[in-house]
Amino acid sequence: MELYAIELRLNGQPRKASVTVADTLLDVLRTQLGAHDVKNGCGQGDCGACTVLLDGRAVNSCLTLAVQADGSEVTTLRGLGTPEDPHPLQEAFVRHGAIQCGFCTSGMVLAAKSFLDDHPEPTRDEIREGISGNLCRCTGYTKIVDAIEEAAHVNAGGRS
Amino acid sequence: MNATQYVRPKDVAEALAVLGAHTPDAQVIAGGTDLLPVMRKSRFENGDGDDARGLVLVDVGRLDELTGIREEGGFLHVGGAATMAAIEASPLLKQKAAVLADAARSVGSPLVRNRATVGGNLATASPSADTAPALLALDAVVTVAGASGERQVPIADFFRGYRATALEAADVIRDISIPVPSPAASGAFRKVGLRTADAISVVCVAAVLEMDGDTCSSARVALGAVAPVPLRALAVEEALTGRRVDVAAARDAAKRVHAHISPIDDVRASAEYRRWVAESVVARTILQAAGIEDD
Amino acid sequence: MSTVDDRTEKKTVERTVPEVEAPDYSLIGRRLPRHDARDKVFGQTKYAGDRPVEGMLYAKVLRSAYAAARLISVDTGVAEAMPGVHAVMTAKDVPLNETTTKFGQTTDTGGFEGTVRVLADKKVRYMGEAVALVAAETLEQAERAARAIKVEYEPLEGVFDPREALKPDAYRVGESDTNVVSNYRVRKGDADEAFKTADVIVENTYHVPHGDHVYIEPETGIAWLDEDGVITIRASTQVIEHFRGVADILGLPHNKVRVIAPMLGGGFGGKEDITVEAYLALLVWRTGRPVSLTYTREESLLAHSKRHPYFMKYRHGANADGKLVAVEAELISDAGGYAYLSPWVLLYSTVCAPGPYRVPNVKVDSYAVLTNNTFTSAYRGFGAPQVCFAYEQQMDALAARLGMSPLEFRELNYLHTGEASGTGHVIQTAVWTDVTAREAWAALGEPTKPRSSHERIGRGMASSMQSYGRLIYMHDTSRSFVGFEMDGTLVVRCGVQDIGGGQASSLATIAAEVLGVDLDDVTVYFGDTALTPLAGTTTATRQLYMSGNATLKAATTVRDTLAQKAGEMLGVQPERLELRDKAFHVLVVDDAEPGVTPTPEPLPLLDVVKACASSGIPLWNLAQFNAPSREVEDVQNVHGQIFPDFTFGTHAAEVAVDTDTGNVEVLKFIAAFDVGQAINCLSAEGQLEGGSVCGLGYALLEDVKLDQGKTITPALDTYLIPTAKDTPDVQSILVESRGGVGPFGAKGIGEPSSTSGAPALANAVADAIGVQVRELPMTPERVLRAMRDPELESISAKA
């Protein structure tokens, strides 16, 4: 099986991997690039747990071949913000109790980020539409919408 | 499906050359949102045995030639690799072909829409492809680039049978062109699924009506998920053309949809339910397109 | 179609929530971020599949292609010789291949011994049953080898409906001469007699389907042999006590198997039975190498436990004055291919079958029956949601017949503290169903007007009773260690499994409250059979009650020890000391003796800690909390107290039904529950909101469809769970009676919040369309059929 050498920027750092054509970006992120913050919930684009930002847009990394990400910017949750420099979405999720088991959180926060980039002043219904590709089984979504709504207000006054 | 090679051509010409060189073991990929689940299923069910022939994936997803959305010469042009997200957000399409923007917005989830392309939607030719009824209602023409040059395929001729299209093995969908609808035309798109978001259609309807006051001068009514192919309900269109459109007329015209549809029982819904809903949703879509309140 | 019910509106104008004084807590009852939230939001939390072990092999399970078949032969020769393969195992390789269903607790309970097999032997009983295991260097090699195992099946007839399986000539799923796994009866008073004189009788049948937990994290684990030869399994599991079952399977002493449960990505009961642990242990034991196993989502949907389908016949009798006189229920549950926890799920249903109502005459007969469908076991609610779907629609039907509103009828019949449940258990704790009902109904507010001629608006409610804590004859116990470090920070060690509901965080909060420190000063070590005192399963909504009380006990002992020392240091009686804000404060007393020195300054906690440390006084305590228990002579004839306590609550909903498509849009959704005392309001609300949407999925979307035992909804595009667009904001109302048996008067909430959502929606739909839909899920097609079918009895909520 032929192997391809790919290069991408993961959370701002140049990284390399050796992949087959069939390897998904999700596979490679978790097995070769140590990005365990990206989760595998279903493998076929139905749950959103594997969401990453690919050149700034939220996508299912399980529906993207690793070779297709060659030359791209990939951002995962760890690249969005850190304890020292948190993203407003991360702070809002914590403050509003929008995290229970946390397994959907990575994908949910990144999808929210991408959504807020396009919709800086969303209604609650628009927020629901924006995260409709990210399943959560624990929270019932209400506090997630609360958190994203707050982050949108913070963004309006500050960093994006 | 055993994909073993990957090529990212720099333009459509190179894509065609690679496809031609490897046919029938070559496959176009763009967003991959239909292809990857197929690859996954194939891996788990059949395994990719060493004896399976390796496929060459030809990635056209990043070609600028294929991702543009513009108006030119009386036509709206949507590149084959334009994503659903781009179509949904395009000010041009929202203004002049809202029925297509609405259809694109109903596909999958926002994550899927950031990758899925209109060309992929057509090429996969699922009977429930959401953009297909909208394109049928807009009289779109598909420009196909192939080994022997380019050809125009009217959308009504594009779907040949269950998951079969006018595409040949080494073709690429370059462009979908839509005659700019007249100012008197307006459209509506409705989708019925089992869930509010991220659901496969049980029935979807697109209608574009040209209205002259209360009278419909021309009608296009197309459906998905109710037959092996997406199709236009000609009898419904006929019943509307040249007639005054009101609630009774819309319901009357909608009754004729049954001549065209052959829905099946499947895990999502029964054929009977699809028939009931096809009729009522066609009526409501007609009224919505005509700007008439339902009573 | 739906109008405001004036009688109901009038009753709820004044707030009727009894005032129970709220103590002045530092942390308990506040809206605090959980202590695990930050790690999760920064992507630092490691779940069971996030720590690969060097040199690990990849496992794959080969699963049965048939729902019912004789297993003629399993030929692994080709597979074993394939590249990278280290082991291929079948039933003959498993030292103890058959186990009986057990709780993994401190005592065994006899009475129900249901066979469970690790790997299929001689016969397969459901499609997806594990037949063989493979471990190889790469996942692809393991998958290839699994496919190369040649299995010869002789397909058998099978049986797929539990009502069919009950018949005397039915296909025998197991090895015994009956498909009945367990059955119960409740006899209170004389229902047969009572029905003869009842003024109104309502009789209906109800059906609910298989469901999947769809935790976002599929089953996963990694196992290895440590330096001391202990098989160590790190798995996403709700029950680390399964180390005993795994050891038995391998024929090893119990102290040679260790299970670690890191944070789970959801459990909901689906990770309550052994999932990957036994397979991992077998392969580690065989190969000596670390092994990892992760189910694909399709595999999880196919092969792990499901929620029990129930066929229910209900008959209620009431008098013209609105009082219930009798209930008769027949419950038949589909246990699938193996018993697992079916007997206990059935028992919960049986106990809860009458609902939170005063019914003098009760007759219940229940049966759990084997079929060749996927095996069924624990699922949030554990048998209570199924019967709630039935009894709450019965209540609405009775109300309609009597010309009363749904709330009015229920208020006449709700149980109150000091009254007897359906099994004759006199409940002495808080029973505030009526309070929750009034709160929920009032929160619906003004009815929404239909937005088009195709829309019918309806509103409905449903109340529920759901136990928390184990069956009281299981002698349930839990243990927790609380101890100070020398610098005044606090450590809690407890075997609790954190499945996402904040189980660990609650313990931190309790310990911090009692010992006067901040939440950030507490580290909780949890979920490790080697290093944390065993706390029992995270199931049965028992952890806050059990490990919460154990932690409270341990923390209180430490506090009392410190207070004793502080008293000595301050020269005051320990009873006059209050520990908060990291200091001992001396409470002023009114009758201070003349000449006594003025009230001393607060004494820093750290000073006391150091003083204890240097005098050899223990700064820690390991406590065990024993739930009250009793022996039960006759498990089958259910009477008296079965559970420590119940949580009572109500859901209310408003829906819009599309008359063309049958689509149900939920406009308003309210959950009002008596949680006793919320330990953390954000967490408690989170349980209400999450449980409500669980009920919404049950009501409108979820159906694991099986066709002759084959799952035809094999992935998440055919098995649908709610997205953010499928639910409105859930309004969660925390009612606090402070009358539970958990720490600080708390009641459990994890399961109760998921029990009454579906019937509330069903009652709202019935209000909208004038017909009850007595089968779930209420898909658009099912609702449209109910509207179109003139045969169905029409129920109108208004006279």
A67 contact B CB<8A? yes
Residue C681 lies in a domain: yes
Whether residues C575 and C704 share a domain: the answer is no
Backbone phi and psi for residue B84, each to the nearest 5 degrees, phi listed first: -60, -35
C296 contact A CB<8A? yes
Q: C712-754, pLDDT tens digit by residue?
A: 999 999 999 999 999 999 999 999 999 999 999 999 999 999 9
pLDDT given for residue C591 in this prediction? 61
pLDDT given for residue C595 in this prediction? 56
C138 contact B CB<8A? no
Across the interface, of B197, B270, B281, the residue whose CB is closest to C661 is B281
pLDDT given for residue C4 in this prediction? 33
Whether residues C638 and C614 share a domain: the answer is no
Q: Within 13 A of B130's CA, how many CA atoms are on the CB side?
A: 28
Contact B116, B32 (CB under 8 A): no
Q: C661-717, pLDDT tens digit by residue?
A: 999 999 999 999 999 999 999 999 999 999 999 999 999 999 999 999 999 999 999
A70, B8: Cβ pair inside 8 Å?
yes
Q: Which of C795, C3, C5, C2 is nearest to C402 (CA)?
A: C795
B197, C726: Cβ pair inside 8 Å?
yes
Those residues with Cβ within 8 angstroms of residue C252's Cβ, 6 or more apart along the chain or in another chain: C231, C285
The DSSP string of C430-488 is ---HHHHHHHHHHHT-SPPPPSSTTEEEEEEEEEEEEEES--GGG--EEEEEEEE-TTS
Contact C304, C339 (CB under 8 A): no
Residues of C in contact with B270 (CB under 8 A): 781
Residue C246 to residue C252: CA distance in whole angstroms: 8
Question: If you ran DSSP here, which 8-state letter would residue C700 be given?
Answer: H
Tokens of C289: 């190498």
Contact B155, B225 (CB under 8 A): no
Q: Across chain A, which distance is largest between two alpha carbons, in Å?
A: 52
Whether residues C432 and C549 share a domain: the answer is no
Give the CA distances from residue B203 to residues B45, B206, B222, C97, C267, in Å, rounded to whole numbers and listed in that order.
Answer: 29, 10, 11, 49, 35
pLDDT given for residue C68 in this prediction? 98
Contact C353, C391 (CB under 8 A): yes
A78 contact C CB<8A? yes
Whether residues C459 and C543 share a domain: the answer is no
CA dihedral sign, ordered A40, C89, C137, C51: positive
A56 contact C CB<8A? no
Of C294, C328, C354, which residue is a domain's last? C294
Whether residues C655 and C777 share a domain: the answer is yes
Torsion of CA C549, C554, C555, C557, to 10 degrees: 120
Those residues with Cβ within 8 angstroms of residue B19's Cβ, 6 or more apart along the chain or in another chain: B26, B28, B58, B169, B170, B171, B172
C585 contact A CB<8A? no
Those residues with Cβ within 8 angstroms of residue B128's Cβ, 6 or more apart along the chain or in another chain: B200, B201, B204, B224, B225
Residue C45 lies in a domain: no
Residue C768 to residue C751: CA distance in whole angstroms: 28
Residue C381 lies in a domain: yes
Residue C795 to residue B87: CA distance in whole angstroms: 47
Q: Which of A12, A7, A4 is nearest to A82 (CA)?
A: A12
Question: What parts of chain B have a pLDDT lower than 70?
Answer: 46-52
Q: Which of C133, C166, C455 is nearest to C279 (CA)?
A: C133
Domain count across chain C: 3
Residues of A in contact with B4 (CB under 8 A): 1-2, 20-21
B229 contact C CB<8A? no
Distance from the Cα of C686 to chain A's closest Cα (Å) equals 6
C727, A104: Cβ pair inside 8 Å?
no
Backbone phi and psi for residue B247, each to the nearest 5 degrees, phi listed first: -60, -45
pLDDT given for residue B196 in this prediction? 87
Contact B60, B79 (CB under 8 A): no
**Crossing angle for the helix pair C433-443 and C406-413, to the nearest 10 degrees:** 170
Contact C429, C675 (CB under 8 A): no
pLDDT given for residue C101 in this prediction? 58
The DSSP string of A16-50 is EEEE-TT-BHHHHHHHTS--TTS--SSSSSSS-TT
Pairing of strands C477-484, C620-626: antiparallel
Q: Which of residues 104-143 of B touch C (CB under 8 A)?
A: 109
Helix (H, G, I), strand (E, B) or coil at C142: helix
Q: Would you mind telling me the total number of residues written for chain B in this entry? A: 295
Residue C707 lies in a domain: yes
CA dihedral sign, ordered B63, B66, B69, B70: positive
Contact C501, C750 (CB under 8 A): yes
Whether residues C233 and C276 share a domain: the answer is yes
A65, B4: Cβ pair inside 8 Å?
no
Chains touching B (at least 3 CB pairs under 8 A) are A, C
Helix (H, G, I), strand (E, B) or coil at C737: coil
Distance from the Cα of B294 to chain C's closest Cα (Å) equals 7
C717 contact B CB<8A? yes
Backbone phi and psi for residue B21, each to the nearest 5 degrees, phi listed first: -70, -25
Residue B63 to residue B192: CA distance in whole angstroms: 34
- Give residue B35's identity as a one-letter amino acid code: L
Residue B211 to residue B223: CA distance in whole angstroms: 21
Those residues with Cβ within 8 angstroms of residue C474's Cβ, 6 or more apart along the chain or in another chain: C103, C105, C107, C109, C629
Residue C182 to residue B132: CA distance in whole angstroms: 54
Of C294, C323, C346, which residue is a domain's last? C294
What is the number of helices (H) and of strands (E) in chain C?
Answer: 19, 30
B265 contact C CB<8A? no
C416 contact B CB<8A? no
Tokens of A128: 């629901």
Whether residues C316 and C272 share a domain: the answer is no
Whether residues C442 and C483 share a domain: the answer is no
Angle at Cα B283 formed by Cα B279 and Cα B289, nearest 5°? 140
CA dihedral sign, ordered C34, C39, C43, C49: negative
Distance from the Cα of C425 to chain A's closest Cα (Å) equals 33
On the question of pLDDT at A7 being above 80, the answer is yes
A65, B33: Cβ pair inside 8 Å?
no
The side-by-side arrangement of strands in the sheet containing C490-494 is: C522-526, C490-494, C477-484, C620-626
Residue C793 lies in a domain: no
Residue B24 to residue B22: CA distance in whole angstroms: 6
Give the structural domain span for C516. 477-626
Whether residues C350 and C446 share a domain: the answer is yes
**Crossing angle for the helix pair A142-157 and A105-118, to the nearest 10 degrees:** 40
Residue C472 to residue C425: CA distance in whole angstroms: 12
pLDDT given for residue A83 in this prediction? 97
Residue C18 lies in a domain: no
Those residues with Cβ within 8 angstroms of residue C21's Cβ, 6 or more apart along the chain or in another chain: none
Residue C90 to residue B189: CA distance in whole angstroms: 55
Tokens of C633: 């002579």
Of C626, C660, C685, which residue is a domain's last? C626
Across the interface, of A43, A60, A131, the residue whose CB is closest to B40 is A43
Q: Is the peptide bond before A83 cis (omega within 30 degrees of 0)?
A: no
Residue B78 to residue B15: CA distance in whole angstroms: 19
Q: Which of C467, C553, C486, C436 is nearest to C749 (CA)?
A: C467
Distance from the Cα of A124 to chain B's closest Cα (Å) equals 15
Contact C191, C362 (CB under 8 A): yes
Distance from the Cα of B265 to chain C's closest Cα (Å) equals 12
Residue C30 lies in a domain: no
Whether residues C660 and C601 share a domain: the answer is no
Angle at Cα B71 formed by Cα B66 and Cα B74, nearest 5°? 125
| Residue C577: CATH number of its domain | 3.30.365.10
Question: What parts of chain C have a pLDDT lower than 70?
Answer: 1-17, 100-114, 589-598, 790-799
Tokens of C120: 């299929």
Q: Sort residue C387 into left (φ over 0), alpha (ψ -120 to 50) or beta.
A: alpha
Residue C83 to residue B50: CA distance in whole angstroms: 13
Whether residues C286 and C316 share a domain: the answer is no
Whether residues C666 and C775 share a domain: the answer is yes
Residue of chain B with shortest Cα separation from C299: B44
SS (H, E, C) chain B: CCEEEEECCCCHHHHHHHHHHHCCCEEEECCCCCHHHHHHHHHHHCCCCCCCCCEEEEECCCCHHHHCEEEECCEEEEECCCEHHHHHHCHHHHHHCHHHHHHHHCCCCHHHHCCCEHHHHHHHCCCCCCHHHHHHHCCCEEEEEECCEEEEEEHHHHEEECCEECCCCCCEEEEEEEECCCCCEEEEEEEEECCCCCCCEEEEEEEEEEEECCEEEEEEEEEECCCCCCEECHHHHHHHCCCECCHHHHHHHHHHHHHCCCCCCCCCCCHHHHHHHHHHHHHHHHHHHHCCCCC
A129 contact B CB<8A? yes
Query: Which domains, ranges and CATH numbers included, belong to chain A?
Result: 4-78 (3.10.20.30), 81-156 (1.10.150.120)
Residue C209 lies in a domain: no
CA dihedral sign, ordered C112, C113, C118, C120: negative
| Residue C78: CATH number of its domain | 3.90.1170.50
Residue of chain A with shortest Cα separation from C218: A41
pTM attached to this predicted model: 0.96
Residue C402 to residue C405: CA distance in whole angstroms: 9
